Amino acid sequence: MRAYVPSAIFLALLANTADAETWQAQPVSSEAKSVSACGSIGPLYTFELIDSQFTASTALGKSFTITLPADGKIAQKYNGGWYEMVGNVRTKQLEIINAPDCRWTLRNCEPPYAARRYC
C-alpha cells in the first residue's frame, strides 16, 4: 500500500500543473499601417499566459489581464482606452493600436529575458 502513496501524490501534482508561458516583445512602428508618423511607445512588453489567463505588462506595471478565448484572438483596450492590443496571443502575432493614427507590431524577443528595456 505504501508504494502507491508516492505515485498518487505525483499524479495529483501533475494534474494540477498549469500550462504557463512567459515572453517579451518590443513595439516597432508599423509605418505602412499608420496614418501619421508615429514614434516609439516605450519599453518591452512582458506577456504571461497561464492556462487561459493572459497578462500584458511593462516596466511601469500591469497593463491588463484577461481570460483568453480558445482561438487566442484578442482586441483589448487598456491605459484608459488610449491603446488597444489586437491579434492572436497563441501565435504571438500582436499589434498595438492608438486609433486611428498609429499601429505598432510587437516583435518577439529572444530569451533570456533579463531585466532589460529593449530587445
Report pLDDT for 112: 66
Of the candidates 12, 89, 88, 101, the residue with the CA atom closest to the CA atom of residue 50: 89
Give the residue extent of every domain in the chain.
19-108
Chunked mean pLDDT (size 10), the chain, 119 residues: 47 56 91 74 88 94 95 95 94 89 88 66
Q: pTM of the full predicted structure?
A: 0.77
Instruction: Report the C-alpha gap between 111 and 119 in whole angstroms.
Output: 9
Cβ-proximal residues to 41 (8 Å cutoff; 6+ apart), any chain: 27, 83, 96, 98, 102, 104
Report pLDDT for 66: 98
